[in-house]
């Protein structure tokens, strides 16, 4: 089976543009949401962790006659960084694929058009346009695929990217996720009563829901043999295992017993050949919603053995908010950096940890306790995915 390495990273988020800004933001452990700059956001809690306008460099209005929406703009910028970081040149374009996970795609474009009085003839923007825009920008002639199973989308997408490489369908996959503000997504969560009025507070006793964030995390994945043959400048981590499952329980709520999220975790660990003592850090789904955090905490204790209080969790959404379809890819970028730098950044402080969430959230930087990292992502519809990364070169 072909080993799959992460050889390039690109990220844009509420913390800024680029991996260095991302890491500096994680290390600072401070982040504050703000009101979305949309006069038509007529809802009770229009708060979000938005990407600063200054962080997004100028980009073309579109490719191939299609307009570039918010998610596509974030994805193209993060892909540009990842490809540059990987030193990816001279690879036959038909051997390069693109897989992008996104929940809402460029649906914000339709809201802009409607606010301006309607669309022009021919204007359209389906969810799959995000992968198409990245493929068009880069000239990738392998499979261009968008995955859109809600907030687990980019986790499933990264797993699909690994399969494309292992099957020999591609040597390189530009893969990750992107999510941008859309009125419909924020309004739906307002109607569900699932928005925290203060900030995203996973595992906090006083949490009252989640808060959305914008962002994109894009990686260059390639077979180890291909990376060696072209003398790739670095490998951040190996994608060692993935596990999928579905609760088949409820449209929006996780199955309270956590049976299927445990199955996804165990499947990923088994494929990686990693025991629970090997896991040195967990980047949980951790949305800040009451049931999700409680169920995930309990299952982490069950799956990882003697109690997760000995394994550091890194609660990324406390800084970025819930970035929807991009959440798993941003968590994977964070996990790859944690393994590469051998440092778990400090978690954003909690007011009071929920006693039902018996997890270890260190408030200071520390070394990961093993050579593997576990990333979880869950979604409406009961879609669950876990990924296991391993230190490169191990």
Whether 250 is catalytic is: no
Residue found under tokens 């693109």: 98
Roughly what angle, to the nearest 10 degrees, separates helices 19-28 and 327-341? 80
**Of 151, 200, 281, 357, catalytic:** 151
Whether 285 is catalytic is: yes
Whether 340 is catalytic is: no
**Of 110, 226, 276, 322, catalytic:** 322
CA distance linking residue 363 with residue 346, whole number of Å: 5
- Report CA 163 to chain centroid distance, whole Å: 18
Q: Where are the beta strands (DSSP E) in 116-270?
A: 144-147, 172-179, 215-223, 237-246
> Can you read off the two tokens belonging to residue 316?
């990324």
Per-position b or e across 127-158, b if 16+ CB within 10 A of its CB = bbbbbbbbbbbbebebbbbbbbbbbbbbbbbb
**Dihedral angle sign, alpha carbons of residues 250, 256, 257, 262:** positive
- Does an H or E element contain 373, and which? strand 372-379
**Of 281, 285, 340, 357, catalytic:** 285
Q: Which long-range contacts (CB under 8 A, 24 or more apart) does 347-352 make?
A: 347/29, 347/313, 347/314, 347/315, 347/318, 348/29, 348/30, 348/31, 348/315, 348/318, 348/319, 349/29, 350/201, 350/203, 350/204, 351/201, 351/204, 351/205, 351/206, 352/204, 352/205, 352/206
First to last CA, the chain: 16
Which residues lie across from 195 on neighbouring strands? 210
Task: Name the residues annotated as catalytic.
Answer: 151, 285, 322
């Amino acid at each position: 089976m072909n080993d799959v390495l992460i050889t390039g990273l690109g990220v844009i988020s509420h913390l800024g543009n680029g991996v260095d800004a991302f890491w500096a933001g994680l290390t600072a452990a401070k982040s504050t949401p703000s009101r979305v700059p949309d006069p038509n956001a007529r809802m009770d809690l229009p708060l979000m962790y938005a990407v600063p306008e200054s962080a997004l460099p100028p980009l073309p209005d579109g490719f191939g006659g299609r307009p570039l929406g918010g998610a596509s703009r974030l994805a193209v910028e993060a892909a540009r960084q990842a490809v540059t970081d990987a030193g990816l040149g001279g690879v036959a374009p038909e051997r390069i694929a693109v897989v992008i996970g996104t929940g809402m795609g460029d649906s914000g474009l339709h809201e802009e058009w409607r606010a301006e009085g309607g669309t022009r003839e021919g204007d359209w923007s389906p969810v799959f346009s995000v992968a198409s825009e990245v493929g068009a920008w880069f000239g990738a002639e392998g499979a261009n695929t968008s995955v859109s199973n809600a907030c687990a989308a980019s986790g499933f997408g990264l797993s699909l990217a690994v399969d494309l490489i292992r099957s020999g369908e591609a040597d390189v996959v530009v893969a990750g996720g992107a999510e941008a503000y859309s009125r419909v997504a924020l309004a739906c969560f307002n109607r569900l009563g699932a928005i925290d009025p203060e900030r995203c507070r996973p595992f906090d006793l006083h949490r009252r829901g989640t808060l959305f964030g914008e962002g994109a995390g894009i990686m260059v994945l390639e077979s180890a043999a291909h990376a060696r043959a072209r003398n790739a400048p670095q490998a951040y981590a190996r994608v060692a295992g993935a596990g999928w499952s579905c609760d088949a329980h409820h449209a929006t709520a996780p199955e309270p017993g956590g049976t299927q999220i445990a199955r996804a975790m165990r499947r990923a660990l088994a494929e990686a050949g990693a025991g629970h003592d090997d896991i040195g850090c967990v980047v949980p789904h951790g949305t800040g919603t009451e049931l999700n955090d409680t169920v995930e905490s309990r299952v982490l204790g069950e799956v990882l053995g003697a109690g997760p209080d000995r394994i550091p969790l890194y609660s990324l959404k406390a800084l970025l908010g819930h970035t929807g379809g991009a959440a798993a890819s941003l968590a994977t970028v964070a996990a790859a950096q944690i393994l590469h730098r051998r440092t778990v950044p400090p978690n954003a402080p909690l007011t009071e940890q929920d006693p039902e969430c018996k997890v270890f959230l260190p408030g200071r930087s520390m070394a990961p306790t093993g050579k593997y990292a576990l990333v979880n992502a869950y979604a409406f519809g009961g879609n669950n995915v876990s990924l296991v990364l391993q230190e490169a070169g191990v």
